[in-house]
Structure 1
Amino acid sequence: MLKKYGIFAKINCFLKKTFTTLLFLITVTVFGQAVRKYSNEFMNIGVDAAALGMSNAVTAFSADVNSGYWNPAGLVHLEDKQMALMHSSYFESIANYDYIGFAMPIDDRSSLGISVIRFAVDDILNTTQLIDDEGHINYDRISLFSTADYGVTFSYARKLPLDGFNYGINAKVIRRIIGDFASSWGFGLDAAIQFETRDEWKFGLMARDITTTFNAWAIDEDEFATIQDAVEGQNQELPETTEITIPKLQFGVAKKFIIRYDYSLLAEVDLNIRFEENNDIISTSFASISPALGLEFGYIDMIYLRTGVGNFQNELQLDNEERVSFQPSIGVGFKYKGIQVDYAFTDIGDQSVALYSNVFSLKIDFSIFR
């Protein structure tokens, strides 16, 4: 019996060290540089299954409550209040992504919107205290914690005196929490424009994080010490606590074609521009560009089929040759009066190697209640 207990204790000790090492590495990854230029990536995943089914190529055509995310200038097209909901799960349901948005017109020239995004892994076992100082295992010492990212966006849009021009701005508040170990606040701004020609060609430009969104972390030194003490030889000093999110541009061109009255075809091409050198198919020391194409086929403005392709990357193979990779997406939608339900089968988004996920969203136009 003692022999079995000894083996059991060793297994639990191994699990404890494995977990605490992993948690420590995650924490260092989050904080590890004096000023990190990659942060708040959860805000790049995207909202609305209709947009995700078109590989996020909606910057120019977006004209509903979800424009607060894709291009706030599109909010001026609202004729009544709208609300949107979305849920998706990633990494085999380990992480959950939830979104709610609300927008309304102020007058015939301007609109307001607000949206909330939550991306989180909940109920993580904290086993750093599983074994006490005397080597005894006590399962009552196991606790649960969550690591969660929140993004709250306030949007404003207005029509410009120039015919066909609209502009929009976003003010974002970012809240990130890693259990009791650390938390941060961040703030940033987006700016966007849309333009529609007389023959209904649409152009959109979305500039994200134009102020280089800042995140300032606060670390609980006592809680953080429990991780360091649990991993032998890992008594590093506390990491630095500042992150920035570098600006990004999205430029889109769209056109909707009506075919025999009942059928429609919406096509949009977007260019996603990052001011860095990476694996995008067009990449320089100044900026990198990755295109995205989205198509939506509609029938009597009620049933929609969507597809898209994006995230074109130059991937280095084992034989040192480069190959262009991309991510396709598909989706369907149904709209009746003021209620729209959409589904997308898509990847998590930019630079991801995650498995494809099922995404569902709901949009409600309050005009149905009048």
Structure 2
Amino acid sequence: MKYRILLFFLFLTVLINAQAFRNYSNEFLNIGVDAAALGKSKAVVATTNNVNATYWNPAGLVGIEDYQGSLMYASYFAGIANYNHAAFAMPIDKESALGVSVIRFGVDDILNTTQLIDSDGNIDFNRISLFSAADYAFNLAYARNLIFKDVKLGVNAKIVRRTIGDFASSWGFGFDIGLQFERNNWKFGLMARDITTTFNSWAINEEEFEKIRDAIPGQNQELPQSTEITKPKLQLGVARDFKIGRFFNLQTEVDLNVRFARTNDIFSSDAGSIDPAIGLQLDYENIVYLRAGVGNFQYQTEFDGSKSLNTQPNFGVGFNYKGIQVDYALTNIGSVGNALYSNIFSITIDYNLLRP
């Protein structure tokens, strides 16, 4: 219960401090999807080529040959928050493909204690209610081969819906664009997220806001600003495949995640910051997969003012049989509280391999 009370005040703070041109907005869209990708520390922008390319790099959708579907479930913060993803993709013709997906990241059954104390100053636990804070993203992606050899282009349009109980809600929209290029055993990828900036417009429930205003005397006296604009981000990747013996294949990729803001990333300046990610995947004849990766290189300020470099290791396994691929990832979510690791499961179904 104490965690859910703390989460209420956390979301209350987010509501009160919402403002335009935030460096960190719609951060749930940066978590990632697909256990296979997360097991490689999200280093997949150059190699993604199935239904989950709708999220990672829509250019990769050209790689699918038939209907594909994908589901993912992840639990964060010791089960308090749930992260779910579903996607579907299909080829339009030999040169183009279409994909759709939906993401939900939410915390349910949060305790609303703003009315815990009645007008006479008495504590009445019957006045506690429950609410959910949830973020949704709906994506529509299109990809096709360009006239240039081995070059693929993809575009992703997204609608973002965010709700904080009855207190506030927002609608947003934005666009991503991606490129992939392949030559011999080398693969290159570029993903530009929020290229037009992603705009979120909040609607504040003034009746509920009045309850917040009265909950903490002298605080929250003004309505928060009602717009957020997410800055663009870039992901660049280079990958290479290696054949190991007769049965094994090794896929390696290095990505650079670029934000146009000063952050705690390992390379940071006023102009922007760069966070590298390295991913490896070893497979046995595309049946059994072993994955590992490291990313999220961040400087953390200690209590004595010194800084230490933290990283996020990841591990994953997968199994593919007759078009049904089941993946698992164990990922460090940044040393938050006592829940250092999250278990992530996903399943991808390729209808082409299921046909008789």
Give your verdict on TM over 0.5: yes
What's the CA shift string for 1:12-48, capped at 9, x where partnerless? xxx9xx95x9745632433425414121000000000
Are 1:222 and 2:176 matched, yes or no? no
CA root-mean-square deviation: 2.0
Distance 1:33 1:369 in 2: 48
Aligned to 1:12: none
- Match runs of 1:1-370 below 5 Å: 19=5, 23=8, 26-37=11-22, 38-197=24-183, 199-348=184-333, 355-370=340-355
Distance 1:161 1:108 in 2: 13
Q: 1:260 corresponds to which letter in structure 2?
A: G
Shift in alpha-carbon separation, 1:121–1:34, aligned structure 2, 3 A: closer
Shift in alpha-carbon separation, 1:172–1:235, aligned structure 2, 3 A: closer
3-state SS, counterpart of residue 92 of structure 1: coil
Aligned to 1:3: none
| Contact 2:142–2:156 under 8 Å retained in 1 | yes
Shift in alpha-carbon separation, 1:22–1:170, aligned structure 2, 3 A: closer
Larger radius of gyration: 1
**TM-superposed deviation, 1:352:** 6.5
Distance 2:25 2:336 in 1: 15
Shift in alpha-carbon separation, 1:158–1:352, aligned structure 2, 3 A: farther
Shift in alpha-carbon separation, 1:235–1:252, aligned structure 2, 3 A: closer
Shift in alpha-carbon separation, 1:133–1:86, aligned structure 2, 3 A: same
| Contact 1:23–1:227 under 8 Å retained in 2 | no
Distance 1:259 1:168 in 2: 32
Shift in alpha-carbon separation, 1:235–1:312, aligned structure 2, 3 A: closer
**TM-superposed deviation, 1:224:** 1.2
Distance 1:318 1:133 in 2: 42
| Contact 2:15–2:224 under 8 Å retained in 1 | no
Shift in alpha-carbon separation, 1:24–1:298, aligned structure 2, 3 A: closer
Q: 2:268 corresponds to which letter in structure 1?
A: S
Shift in alpha-carbon separation, 1:309–1:132, aligned structure 2, 3 A: same
Shift in alpha-carbon separation, 1:133–1:31, aligned structure 2, 3 A: closer
Which structure features the higher share of strand residues?
2
Distance 1:246 1:231 in 2: 33
Q: 1:274 corresponds to which letter in structure 2?
A: R
Q: 1:129 corresponds to which letter in structure 2?
A: Q
3-state SS, counterpart of residue 60 of structure 2: helix
Equivalent residues, number: 351
**TM-superposed deviation, 1:347:** 2.5
Q: 1:190 corresponds to which letter in structure 2?
A: D
TM-score calculated relative to the size of structure 1:
0.90
**TM-superposed deviation, 1:319:** 4.3
3-state SS, counterpart of residue 207 of structure 1: strand
What's the CA shift string for 1:287-323, capped at 9, x where partnerless? 1111110000111210010000011122333444433
| Contact 1:24–1:227 under 8 Å retained in 2 | no
Distance 1:369 1:301 in 2: 16
| Contact 1:49–1:360 under 8 Å retained in 2 | yes
Q: 2:114 corresponds to which letter in structure 1?
A: T
